[in-house]
Amino acid sequence: SAPVTLLNARAVARTISRMADEILERNDGTERLILVGIQRRGVQIAQRIAAVIQEREGADIPLGALDITLYRDDLQTVGPRPVVGQTHLPKAIDGQVVVIVDDVLFTGRTIRAALDELADFGRPSRIMLAVLVDRGGRELPIHADVVGQTVTVPPGGRVDVFVPELDGKDEVTMVGG
Ligand code: 5GP
Ligand code: MG
């Protein structure tokens, strides 16, 4: 079936702006805040959230990126401690408030893997999760603290998140099953 637009460019901008506000509200400001995007589109969303926070509060939030592909527990060919590419964290995460940012939350396995990987880098005082789209379908006890939009995706359907940096357009669509 034809894709349905969930968020157009203006809606994405408003949603990201609200997500930034919620992160500030829950953290009572920018102190000790670090944003960590999940490669790839979570990274671009984290950058946009950081830009809004910079606008609002005048603070530069440290940004990191995690590539958790090899940490997913359903990739059976990969060992328990693989070398992971494209992961960089801005500074020591000990005692910091780390906000994991991803584009879509589905089963929760990516986030479980991200928590594992973060644990290798240090011990934040708190870890939060912010996602642009929560499509339900969790297989683990994981929830997002900050959600852009919750959608019900029909079986076999999918959400497509397009970001300007990678896709040349800025929108979220859904394709039915
Ligand atoms: P999970 O690990 O929670 O099953 O899936 C989340 C990860 O897979 C996210 O990093 C997300 O990018 C990707 N993902 C899962 N489902 C979808 C979907 O319907 N659309 C998109 N664009 N990504 C998805
Ligand atoms: Mg992803």
Q: How far is the CA of 60 from the centre of ligand 2 (A)?
A: 24
Q: How far apart are CA 72 and CA 66, in angstroms?
A: 12
Query: Could you tell me the distance, in angstroms and rounded to a whole number, from the CA of residue 69 to the centre of ligand 1?
Result: 11
The SS3 call for residue 37 is strand
Cα separation, 173 vs 84, in Å, equals: 30
Q: How far apart are CA 102 and CA 177, in angstroms?
A: 23
Query: How high is the ipTM of this complex?
Result: 0.98
Per-residue pLDDT of the chain (177 residues; tens, 9 = 90+): 899 999 999 999 999 999 999 999 999 999 999 999 998 899 999 999 999 999 999 999 999 999 887 666 665 554 444 445 578 888 789 999 999 999 999 999 899 989 988 998 999 999 999 999 999 999 999 999 999 999 999 988 999 999 999 999 999 999 987
Domains and CATH numbers, the chain: 11-153 (3.40.50.2020)
For the CA of 112, the nearest atom of ligand 1: 2
Tell how far the Cα of 104 is from the centroid of ligand 2, in angstroms.
7
